[in-house]
Amino acid sequence: MKAMLLPALAIATTMALPVAARADEPATVPIAGTRLDISAEGEVTRAPDMATIGAGVTTQSSSAASAMADNAKRLAAAVAALKRAGVADKDIRTSSLSLQPQYRYAEGQAPVITGYQASNQLSIVFHDIQRAGPILDALVGQGVNQINGPDFGIEHPEAALDEARTQALQKARARADLYARAAGMGVKRIVAISEAGGYSPPAAPRPMMMARMDKASTELQPGEQKVNVSLNVTFELQ
């Protein structure tokens, strides 16, 4: 009789182990009433307070060394102009550097290298958007011949995100109350809340376009940006 009890006890112990391994997981309170899942979005608008702009220098020469040297000279002048304008070192970043041979093609013949093209691109963050246009004009005057962007952003979006979260939860609760009244019930409690979406920081500047020098000063129009948050909320109705 004892020999028969031992295997049964071993099986019972083995089966209990997975339960013990999950003891640290939060307990799920069962829903006694009716479950209602609501998706709601909160959205607020803010004026951007920063801009990311790409600026670069492309040079060509008969030799790779002279193309790179000319490029480095122009770019150094551009960086110096940025610093004189008050742009911090942390807001100036090299985003790409390239050196490529230039070819002449003729039918029936192998390509012939005719020179080299050097390109150096900077990614610049402006925290004072109103000054960005005049600074870009100054950069062009220093030899910058490629401008791309701008991409506007909000430097500290947390307050706007919290406002959007509050708005989304209020919408979800109002919608839950509507469904509950229509069903002759009431909202007992919120069971779960999950968040999706939110503010995305500025993307990398868009593909380059050649800068042109005009008599009028360059002006940037930041407009407004939307900050939105989507919530999935589970309610219990009774």
Say which residues have a Cβ less than 8 Å from residue 200's Cβ, sequence separation at least 6: none
- Give the C-alpha distances (Å, rounded to integers) separating 201 from 9, 21, 130: 58, 40, 20
User: Which among 146, 138, 126, 139 has a CA at the least distance from the CA of 58?
Assistant: 146
pLDDT for 226: 93
Residue 136 has pLDDT above 80, yes or no: yes
Classify 149 as helix, strand or coil: strand
Q: How far, in Å, CA of 233 to CA of 31, rounded?
A: 14
Q: List alpha helices for 86-204, DSSP H.
A: 129-141, 158-182
Residue 31: per-residue pLDDT = 84
Number of domains present in the structure of the chain:
1
| Across 109-133, average pLDDT | 94
Domain extent, residue 137, equals 50-153
Contact 221, 133 (CB under 8 A): no
Asked whether the predicted pLDDT for residue 1 surpasses 80, the reply is no
Tens-digit pLDDT profile for residues 56-90:
999 999 999 999 999 999 999 999 999 999 999 99
Asked if the structure places residue 138 within a domain, the reply is yes
Q: Is 16 domain-assigned?
A: no
Q: Give the predicted TM-score (pTM) of the model.
A: 0.69
Average pLDDT (88-117) is 95
CATH number of the domain encompassing residue 105: 3.30.70.2970
Residue 1 placed within a domain: no
Count helices and strands in the chain by DSSP H and E runs: 4, 8
pLDDT in tens, 164-182: 999 999 999 999 999 999 9
pLDDT at position 7 is 45
Mean pLDDT of 23-33: 66
Residue 199 banded pLDDT, cuts 50, 70, 90: low
Please indicate, yes or no, if residue 83 is contained in any of the structural domains: yes
How many Cα atoms are found within 13 Å in the side-chain-facing hemisphere of 216? 3
